[in-house]
C-alpha cells in the first residue's frame, strides 16, 4: 500500500462507500427500467435509451447539478467553473445498448461521471474550468450498422448515407429516429458541428473492459493508450447457385456456404500469420445466414449473407488486410464460381489517447495505491471520435468478467469505485 493511500484511508473508505451506494442505486434503476427479461435493451435513438437518459437526468437534478439536452439530444450535466470562458473538461459515455445487452457497457461511464461531478460539488470544490458530463446517444452499431452516431453528430461527421441507414427491422431510418428524440437533424444533415471541438479541453471516459485481459491479469483497472478502428461490411452476400443437394456433383457446385467457409478459413490463416508478425488485428463475422425464403436441408444454398468486420489500432494494418479480404473474395469466387457482393464499406479510424492524460491518470492511480497498467482498447469508443477531432482524450477501463454485449457482464462496485477515484482525482487536478 502506498503512503498516499494510507494517509487518505478513512476518507477514501467513506468516499468508496458513497460511490458504491450511489452507483448501486443508479445501476439498479437503469436495469429495472430497461430490462428485457434476458438482459437490458436500450436501442440507439429508441425508448430504452431515452429512459436511461431520463434516469440520469433526474438523479443529477436531485443532486443539485444543472442538466439539459444538447442539439444532438444527448444529456448534458454541468458543474460550472469559476472561469466559464475556458475550454471545459468533458466526461461521460453512452447510454444505448445492443439488444439483450449488459447494464454496464456505456452506463458505467455515465454513472461514473455523475458520481464524480456530484462528489466534487458536495465536497465544496469549486473548479476553475467547467466540467460537463455527457450521456451520449447512439454509440452501438447494432441497430443501424454504424457506431458512434451520437458523438459523430456532435462534430458534424454524419453523412446523408448514414442518416438514410435503416434500422434492423427496416422500418425507420437513422435520421427519422434521431428527429423523433429531438436531434436537430437539419444541422446534422448539413454536417454542421453541434459543439465546437476547441471548447473542449479533454474527453475522459470510464468504461468496462470488453475483453478478458484485466480479469486474466487480476487488475481492477487499466489506463487505455489507443483504440482500435475498424472496417466493416454489414452485409456480404455470397451468390452461388442453388440446386438439388443429391443431384449436383462437387465439380458442378457453386455452394455459397462452402465458398464462404473457404474464404473465412483463408482469412483465418492470414490473420494468424499477421499476429505472428506482431500486427494488431481481430476479424469477426457476427451475423451469418442462408436465405430463409429458399433454403432447405436438401438444397445447395445459392445465397449466404454474412457481416464482416476487421479491427486494428493501425490504419495501415486495417487497409492491408482489407485488400487481402477483397483479393480472397475474388480468388475464392473465381475458384468456386460464386460472387461475393459487398455492401457499403463502413469504417472508423483508430485513435491514439493523449499521452499527457494517460500520464495524469496513471499518476492518479499510483497516488491512490492502484495499479497503473497501460493497455490498448480492442473495442471502439466515443473517445476515439473525440480524439480524432483533436481533443485530448483518455479512458479508464474497469475489470469486467464475461465480456460485454451480453447480460452476463460482471463488474464489482469495488473495481468501479477504484476507476471513479482515479477519474475524480485526475479531473479535479485538471479543473483546478
State yes or no: residue 37 binds a second copy (CB under 8 A).
no
Q: How far apart are CA 229 and CA 68, in angstroms?
A: 31
Residues 280-299 interacting with a second copy (rule: CB under 8 A): 282, 284-290, 292-299
Contact 84, 66 (CB under 8 A): no
Beta bridge partners of 223: 374, 396
Shortest reach from residue 283's CB to a second copy, in Å: 8
Nearer to a second copy, 159 or 284 (CB): 284
Nearer to a second copy, 329 or 364 (CB): 329
Using alpha carbons only, how large is the chain's radius of gyration in Å?
A: 23
The residue within the footprint of a second copy, chosen from 383, 403, 420, 428 (CB under 8 A), is: 403
Grid cell in block for residue 296: 432447405
Among residues 115, 116, 142, 219, the one that binds a second copy under rule CB under 8 A: 142
Among 307, 314, 410, 412, binds a second copy (CB under 8 A): 307
- For residue 317, state whether it binds a second copy (rule: CB under 8 A): no
Q: What cell was used for 167?
A: 434500422
What does the alpha-carbon distance between residue 118 and residue 158 come to, in Å, rounded to a whole number? 33
C-beta neighbour count of 381 within 10 angstroms = 28
Q: Which is nearer to a second copy, 79 or 238 (CB)?
A: 238
In the bound state with a second copy, the residue whose beta carbon lies nearer, of 92 and 302, is 302
User: Among 167, 205, 209, 372, which residue sits at the site for a second copy (rule: CB under 8 A)?
Assistant: 209
Residue closer to a second copy (CB basis): 11 or 293: 293
**Do 111 and 56 meet the contact criterion of CB atoms below 8 Å apart?**
yes
Among the residue ranges 12-20, 81-89, 403-411, 416-424, the one whose residues contact a second copy (CB under 8 A): 403-411
Residue 120 CA to residue 130 CA, distance in Å, equals 12
Interacting residue with a second copy among 46, 119, 380, 419 (CB under 8 A): 380
Determine the size of the site formed for a second copy (CB under 8 A). 72
CB of 145 to a second copy, least distance (A): 7
Is 374 in contact with 184 (CB distance < 8 Å)? no
Interacting residues with a second copy between 77 and 136 (CB under 8 A): 98-100
Q: How far is the CB of 285 from a second copy (least distance, A)?
A: 5
- Asked if 133 contacts 35 with a C-beta cutoff of 8 angstroms, the reply is no
Site string for a second copy, 159-198 (x = CB under 8 A): ----------------------------------------
Q: Is the CB of residue 72 less than 8 Å from the CB of residue 192?
A: no
Of these, 271, 342, 343, 349, which contacts a second copy (CB under 8 A)?
271
Q: How far is the CB of 146 from a second copy (least distance, A)?
A: 10
Rounded to 10°, the helix 107-122/47-62 angle is 10
Q: Which three cell numbers stand for residue 369?
A: 495505491
Pair 135, 90: CB distance under 8 Å: no
50/210 with CB nearer a second copy: 210
Sign of the alpha-carbon torsion through 5, 362, 374, 422: positive
Nine cell digits for residue 15: 468516499
Amino acid at each position: 500500500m502506498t503512503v498516499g493511500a494510507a494517509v487518505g484511508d478513512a476518507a477514501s473508505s467513506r468516499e468508496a462507500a458513497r460511490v458504491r451506494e450511489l452507483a448501486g442505486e443508479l445501476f439498479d434503476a437503469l436495469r429495472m427500467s430497461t430490462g428485457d427479461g434476458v438482459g437490458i435493451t436500450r436501442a440507439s435513438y429508441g425508448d430504452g435509451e431515452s429512459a436511461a437518459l431520463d434516469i440520469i437526468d433526474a438523479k443529477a437534478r436531485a443532486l443539485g447539478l444543472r442538466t439539459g439536452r444538447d442539439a444532438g439530444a444527448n444529456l448534458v450535466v454541468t458543474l460550472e467553473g469559476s472561469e466559464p470562458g475556458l475550454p471545459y473538461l468533458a466526461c461521460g459515455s453512452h447510454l444505448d445498448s445492443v439488444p439483450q445487452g449488459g447494464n454496464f457497457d456505456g452506463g458505467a461511464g455515465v454513472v461514473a461521471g455523475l458520481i464524480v461531478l456530484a462528489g466534487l460539488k458536495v465536497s465544496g470544490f469549486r473548479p476553475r474550468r467547467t466540467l460537463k458530463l455527457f450521456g451520449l446517444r447512439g454509440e452501438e452499431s447494432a441497430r443501424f450498422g454504424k457506431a458512434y452516431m451520437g458523438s459523430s453528430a456532435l462534430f458534424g461527421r454524419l453523412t446523408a448515407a448514414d442518416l438514410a441507414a435503416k434500422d434492423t427491422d427496416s422500418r425507420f431510418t437513422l435520421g427519422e429516429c434521431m428527429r423523433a428524440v429531438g436531434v436537430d437533424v437539419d444541422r446534422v444533415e448539413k454536417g454542421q458541428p453541434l459543439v465546437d471541438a476547441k471548447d473542449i479541453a479533454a474527453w475522459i471516459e470510464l468504461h468496462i473492459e470488453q475483453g478478458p485481459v484485466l480479469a486474466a491479469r487480476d487488475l481492477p483497472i487499466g489506463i487505455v493508450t489507443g483504440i482500435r478502428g475498424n472496417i466493416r461490411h454489414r452485409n456480404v452476400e455470397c451468390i452461388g447457385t442453388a440446386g438439388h443437394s443429391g443431384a449436383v456433383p462437387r465439380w458442378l457446385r457453386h455452394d455459397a456456404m462452402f465458398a464462404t467457409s473457404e474464404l473465412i478459413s483463408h482469412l483465418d490463416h492470414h490473420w494468424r500469420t499477421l499476429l505472428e508478425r506482431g500486427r494488431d488485428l481481430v476479424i469477426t463475422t457476427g451475423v451469418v445466414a442462408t436465405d430463409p425464403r429458399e433454403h432447405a436441408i436438401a438444397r445447395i444454398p445459392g445465397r449466404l449473407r454474412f457481416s464482416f468486420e476487421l479491427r486494428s489500432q493501425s490504419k495501415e494494418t486495417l487497409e492491408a488486410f482489407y485488400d487481402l479480404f477483397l483479393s480472397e473474395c475474388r480468388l475464392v469466387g473465381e475458384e468456386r464460381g460464386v460472387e461475393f457482393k459487398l455492401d457499403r464499406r463502413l469504417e472508423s479510424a483508430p485513435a491514439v489517447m493523449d499521452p499527457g492524460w494517460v500520464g495524469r491518470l496513471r499518476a492518479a492511480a499510483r497516488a491512490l495505491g492502484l495499479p497503473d497498467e497501460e493497455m490498448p482498447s480492442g473495442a471502439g469508443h466515443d473517445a476515439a471520435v473525440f480524439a480524432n477531432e483533436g481533443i485530448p482524450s483518455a479512458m479508464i477501463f474497469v475489470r469486467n468478467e464475461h465480456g460485454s454485449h451480453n447480460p452476463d457482464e460482471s463488474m464489482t462496485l469495488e473495481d468501479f469505485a477504484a476507476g471513479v477515484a482515479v477519474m475524480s482525482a485526475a479531473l479535479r487536478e485538471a479543473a483546478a
